Amino acid sequence: MKSLLWALVAGAVALVPVVAEAHGPTRQKIEVTREIDAPADKVWAVVSNFQDLSWIPGVKSVEGSGSEVGATRTITLENGEKLVEKMDKFDAAKMMFMYRAEADNIKFLPVTNYSSRITVKDAGGKSTVTWWGAFYRGYPNNDPPPELSDEAAVKAVTDLYNAGLDGLKKKVEGGS
Amino acid sequence: MLARGRALVLAGALCLLAAAGPARADEAFVTNQQSDDVSVVDLETATVVATIPVGGKPAGVAVSPDGSRAYVTSPEGKVVTVIDAAARTVVARIPIEGGPVGIVLSPDAAWLYVADWFNNAILVIDTASNAVVASIPVGRAPAGMAITPDGRTLLSCDRDDDRLSVVDLATRKVTGTIPVGTHPFAVTIAPDGKRAYAANVMSNDVSVVDLAGRREITRVPVGDTPYGIALAGTRAFVTDQHADTVTVFDTGTLQTVATIDTPSFPEGIETARDGRKVWAAAWGDDAFFSIDVETLEVADEVDVGTGPRAFGAFIRRTTSR
């Protein structure tokens, strides 16, 4: 019964246009922070390169060019799913940038209307990196299935940020 | 007995204070979607004076013109919560079948209109009985609404149809539609009832609408992802959600006057009754802030609950003046 319901839901979702269109009524946000034992400018140099996601586990490739506002990147995961992201805001002085998904792909990440912000701050010679995300759940209508619920969306993005920042910490502190 | 006696004396003293004290400041009822409550903010001191649990991920709010009631939509809870604004208590819950988001009261507070995001309809609620008495079909994903000062006409942002629906409130029928920019989310009507301004979240502009002619006059470019519009004097203040700014434009010349940096993800915005400040929720920073309409700078900032939206008419008068 559950698999039948899931199949119906998946079918309904597949009919939804891929551009950021309809979404649920409750936007979610999460924030994950890591302290990294390296100067802020060194950490900033790594995270602000919009075309390098080698620090995030599970990313197979990134295609695109530039880190300026308007730059896009196509991320391909090891499972083959793709997401296109676009730089919205880039402030080197504040060591902050903001970007958003150009279109939803709930198989990449079970969210819609996803936007994100990464900030690096000096913490007495070390750095504090904050990864912030805003998004709606994957299912745009009422009564979502558990796989596309608010909770599932929050968990998926939280897991991504935790794994990504752990990878960033390892890359920067390891000096690679 | 002793404790009770003390409480009574205290209550008596408080009554005297209230009677003799100066007129109280207006308040804001700020819906906090993620913390499931409403922060009541005193606008004179810019402090939170009460927190009212609501549940169901509250988003929209409509405070009655006399300040007695606050109506709050909870799209996940599928309910409209009726709050006694002075007592800070929930007095009724009105179940809604779909996803209530936008909410607006008629000028005489007799009728409450709730946009059902999922079922593409405006629900009509009799505030005397708190019963849903009618449903008006509109376009897809209706969000923000506004009513003309004469109480005759309601505008609905049919977000996913890129248009406004014009609803005649006497017959409760759509009498026309007005194409606007991409994905209008919020609409505000000028005090003289001649123009409406719709914030188009996907085309990053504001549609200026001539209500008599029922047509869009022009679009004013604003910042990234405009979410709300407040009018103060001859200026419009537009929250640019993704840009973390408020764009100010002159409603006569339609030229941009200023772009003001604000706390993160500004959303619901309303002009104070004295017209000196506009107040807005900052969803990203869990803050509520004001902009001085003369200096065009952020004047107040107060921490509220998590994920404040304040989508609607959130300012409450506390006196009859």
pLDDT tens figures, B162-183: 999 999 999 999 999 999 999 9
Classify residue B190: in a domain, yes or no: yes
The CATH number assigned to the domain holding B216 equals 2.130.10.10
Is B76 in contact with A141 (Cβ distance < 8 A)?
Answer: no
pTM: 0.85
Number of A:B CB contacts under 8 A?
A: 44
Q: Report pLDDT for B23.
A: 56
Length of chain A as a residue count: 176
Distance from CA of B286 to the nearest CA of A (A): 11
* Among chain A residues, CA nearest to B244: A89
Report chain B's mean pLDDT, rounded to a whole number.
Answer: 93
Count other Cβ atoms within 10 Å, centred on residue A112.
26
Distance between CA atoms of B171 and B149, rounded to whole angstroms? 17
Over range B21-48, report the average pLDDT: 91
Contact A118, A130 (CB under 8 A): yes
Q: Which of B59, B160, B307 minimises the CB distance to A25? A: B59
Closest residue by Cα to residue B286 from B29, B11, B39, B98: B39
Classify residue B321: in a domain, yes or no: no
Banded pLDDT at B252 (limits 50, 70, 90): very high
Over range B41-65, report the average pLDDT: 97
Q: Report pLDDT for B70.
A: 98
Domain that residue B161 falls in:
26-316
Over range B193-198, report the average pLDDT: 98
Classify residue B260: in a domain, yes or no: yes
Percent of chain B with pLDDT over 70: 92
Q: Report pLDDT for A51.
A: 97
Over range A85-93, report the average pLDDT: 95
Q: Report pLDDT for A21.
A: 57
Q: Which of B76, B265, B283 minimises the CB distance to A25? A: B76
Element (H, E) at A161: helix A150-174
Question: Does residue B6 register a pLDDT over 50?
Answer: no
Classify residue B180: in a domain, yes or no: yes
Least confident of A20-29, A140-149, B100-109, B114-123: A20-29
Long-range contacts of A48-52 (CB under 8 A, 24+ apart): A48/A90, A48/A92, A48/A95, A48/A97, A48/A118, A50/A87, A50/A97, A50/A99
Classify residue B8: in a domain, yes or no: no
| Coil, strand or helix at B236 | strand
Question: Does residue A148 register a pLDDT over 60?
Answer: yes
Classify residue B181: in a domain, yes or no: yes
Classify residue B76: in a domain, yes or no: yes
Question: Does residue B95 register a pLDDT over 50?
Answer: yes
Q: What does the pLDDT look like over B289-321, one tens digit per residue?
A: 999 999 999 999 999 999 999 999 999 999 865
Over range B30-47, report the average pLDDT: 97
Q: What does the pLDDT look like over B122-139, one tens digit per residue?
A: 999 999 999 999 999 999
Could you tell me the domains of chain A?
Answer: 26-174 (3.30.530.20)
Structural domain tally of chain B?
1
A134 interaction partners in chain B (CB closer than 8 Å): 265, 283-284
